[in-house]
Amino acid sequence: MALMTLKNVNKYYLSGSDLRFHALKNINLSFNKGELVSIIGESGSGKSTLMNLIGGLDRDFEGEILVDGVNIGTYNENQRVMYNKEKIGFVFQSFNLIPHLNVLENVALAMTLSNVSKKIRVERAKKILAEVGLEKHYYKKPNQLSGGQKQRVAIARSLVNDPEIIIADEPTGALDSETADQVLQIFSEIAASGKLVLLVTHSERVAARSSRIVTIADGSIISDQEYPENQVYHSKEHLSRFSLTSRPKNRNLSFFAAMKLAFLNMKEKFSRSVLIALGGSIGIMSIILMLSLGSGVNAYLTNLMQEQVNPVVSEVRMPEPEEQETSNSSTSEITGDPTGMPMDPAQNSPVMRNDNVPFEQSDLETLENIDGVASLEKGYSTFSLGNNSIMYNDRYRSFMNFITMSSMITTANLSEGEFPQEGEILITQGIADSIGEDSIGKEVTVTLMMDGVITETDMVISGIFASSDAVGPTAVFDSIYMNYADVEAIAQANDIELQPNVVYLVAEDAQANARVKEEIKTLGYQGSAMESIAKLFTDMIDIFTYILAGVAGLSLFVSAIMILTVLYISVVERTQEIGVIKATGGRKKDIRRIFVSESFLIGVFSGSFGVGFAYILSIIGNRVVEQQFGTTIFLVEYQFIVMGMVISILLSVIAGLLPSVCASRLDPVEALRHE
């Protein structure tokens, strides 16, 4: 049985909307192993069209092309791929070598697409290259070879998978006569190894070396002659030279092989690849820096707050009555002449007061019974403008914030002196400055408004509260601190029924305190004003951080468009390469995988550059800020790095999908003709 048989093969091309051009007309041919056949004819006669049909590059025909008795016109996609991998080897007129691969890699391409192990494909490629006289040129690039050497590389590539049929399109068209004779001798030896060699040519010189000449004109076979004097004879010597002793199992292109092909192409266009990666890195760097800035500022505020308060103590206040809510403050009120200015509290001047809602006994019992609470401390605080003041000799200073001492306050809050004992107070630095030097130990007169009653009492200053680093009202307003027992004594002396309006719950440990805080919210009570203000700041910082990160993210959109454009350009530049890959058994999926791998690598490099730049700039920024303000504000967390890398890769891969699909859909015949 003949190796290949063509039965009534017809090929039509659309010529206009309804017209069809009859390119091949009732072709009937039969070919056997070991033949060296020249298919000759003028340009436009149909010989290249016939070659494309036989090679499986064009499946749109009528009739039958039988190979080993099977009609290749009925092949599905996978069968066509295996046909190109195992049965057919192409040698192109313009060589169609891939410029960014060396000689060895070009020859091994078909085995790379078949996912053959590196050891086997390298050994096979070297063996075939040695047979065609190129054993000294394994690692040269195609542009370092002569025309004859390039054609030998193309021949070696067609032989590497040990196909049964070799199709050569004008194999000597670009060669001088001496080199052409050498190439024709190689084809004769290939035929002698038992392979069918089809030379598509218009050269009489090539035809004269063939054992059979098929002449085609206007799409029809006009002659089919054999030349016994040129008949090649099989020999074991030639068989061992060009054939595989054992055929490795053909599989599909692996992800890592596709990645290597993509990397080699990027390496060939190194400058362009670096610029693309740098362009994409700007957005990644900006997003990481913005998130790091927000995280750093939040961490600074959190640490600062934790330094100011005891981590096992929770501050609790009663919820504000809904009916008292106003646009300014839930319990604020203005009294006195609205046109006047705050003066001595004894005068009738405008004042503004904010008193917290007092606790009932039932509330205290409820809070004290929360699981994890070790003890409960009563407290009293008030915020007032124009009511409270402190007097030393003839020096008068009003203050706005009055708070009782509690376990919430730690030694970190003390800049000078000691915590107050009975009859003593703690003041902030602003009040201390108004009194003068050495304010500690001085006796002062404190005027307080409690439950609408103005009280006066003499107290001794025990220390100065470190308000310069505080978070909350104390950081802004002058404040004094007094023991609750002293407040009770003042209330009793002025016939005031004192009820605590703030409570401090001391938890068993820090973990228990976290649970206590959650339970406080669940029961409907309010937490620390300091925590509320800090949370407000952190929420605002988060909002601004995400807004800035979103603005920075716009550059990622520009990067995606840039990557998509560059990959489209790459598809155009590599059109012939795509045709070669398809002709040597590459699947559409393989083409997509190669281009997606390239976009993946661009994403990896962009992300890496972005992360690196962000890290370096954060170090520089932190050093500058630390020198100026004694703190750091950029906190690059590992999740930001991971997120930056993931965004960069996903964006690049998504941008590369459309060009990769376009590349995979290219017609191999048209791709091979592309200049």
CB atoms within 10 A of CB 333: 14
Question: Where are the domains positioned within the chain?
Answer: 32-58+77-246, 270-301+538-673, 310-527
Element (H, E) at 25: strand 20-31
Q: Report pLDDT for 94.
A: 83
When mean pLDDT is compared over 292-296, 305-309, 333-337, 532-536, the highest value belongs to 292-296
**433-453: average pLDDT:** 87
Q: Give residue-wise pLDDT tens across range 556-610.
A: 788 788 888 888 888 888 888 898 888 888 888 999 999 999 999 999 999 999 9
Residue 239: pLDDT above 80?
Answer: no
Q: How confident is the model at residue 531 (pLDDT cuts 50, 70, 90)?
A: low
**166-189: average pLDDT:** 86
CA dihedral 459, 464, 465, 467 (to 10 degrees): 130
292/625 Cα distance (integer angstroms) = 14
Residue 352: pLDDT above 50?
Answer: no
420/363 Cα distance (integer angstroms) = 28
Q: How confident is the model at residue 17 (pLDDT cuts 50, 70, 90)?
A: low
275/459 Cα distance (integer angstroms) = 72
Q: Where are the alpha helices (DSSP H) in 193-234?
A: 204-207
Burial 4-34 (b: 16+ CB within 10 A, else e): bbbeebebeeeeeeeeeeebbbebebebeeb
283/555 Cα distance (integer angstroms) = 5
Burial 149-177 (b: 16+ CB within 10 A, else e): bbbbbbbbbbbbbbbbbbbbbbbbeebee
Q: Report pLDDT for 247.
A: 64
Q: Report pLDDT for 139.
A: 92
516/33 Cα distance (integer angstroms) = 89
Structural contact between residues 641 and 609, judged by C-beta atoms closer than 8 angstroms: no
Structural contact between residues 544 and 636, judged by C-beta atoms closer than 8 angstroms: no
Among 350, 435, 423, which Cα is nearest to 397's? 435
| Radius of gyration from C-alpha coordinates of the chain | 44
| Cα angle: 64, vertex 70, 71; to 5 degrees | 25
Residue 337: pLDDT above 60?
Answer: no
Q: How confident is the model at residue 34 (pLDDT cuts 50, 70, 90)?
A: confident
Q: Report pLDDT for 325.
A: 44
Give Dmax (Cα) for the chain: 136
86/110 Cα distance (integer angstroms) = 9
257/253 Cα distance (integer angstroms) = 6
Q: Report pLDDT for 347.
A: 40
Which of 177-191, 348-362, 374-388, 543-557 bottoms out in mean pLDDT, i.e. has the lowest?
Answer: 348-362
Q: Report pLDDT for 308.
A: 64
**390-407: average pLDDT:** 88
Share of the chain above pLDDT 70, in %: 87
Residue 471: pLDDT above 70?
Answer: no
**244-257: average pLDDT:** 73
Which of 29-33, 111-115, 122-126 bottoms out in mean pLDDT, i.e. has the lowest?
Answer: 111-115
Q: Report pLDDT for 422.
A: 93
Q: For the chain, report the end-to-end CA distance as a whole number of angstroms.
A: 40
User: How far, CA to CA in Å, does 53 sit from each of 23, 84, 232, 378?
Assistant: 12, 12, 26, 95
CATH of domain 32-58+77-246: 3.40.50.300
Q: Report pLDDT for 346.
A: 39
Mean pLDDT over each residue of the chain, to the nearest integer: 84
Q: Report pLDDT for 459.
A: 94
| Cα angle: 71, vertex 73, 76; to 5 degrees | 105
Q: How confident is the model at residue 329 (pLDDT cuts 50, 70, 90)?
A: very low
Which of 239-248, 441-450, 511-520, 551-560 bottoms out in mean pLDDT, i.e. has the lowest?
Answer: 239-248
* The pair of three-digit structure tokens given for residue 156, joined into one six-digit string: 């070696």
CB atoms within 10 A of CB 76: 7
Residue 355: pLDDT above 90?
Answer: no
Cα dihedral sign for 601, 606, 610, 616?
Answer: positive
Q: Which residue has the higher pLDDT, 138 or 673?
A: 138
Strand arrangement of the beta sheet that strand 502-507 belongs to: 313-316, 502-507, 373-379
Q: Report pLDDT for 209.
A: 87
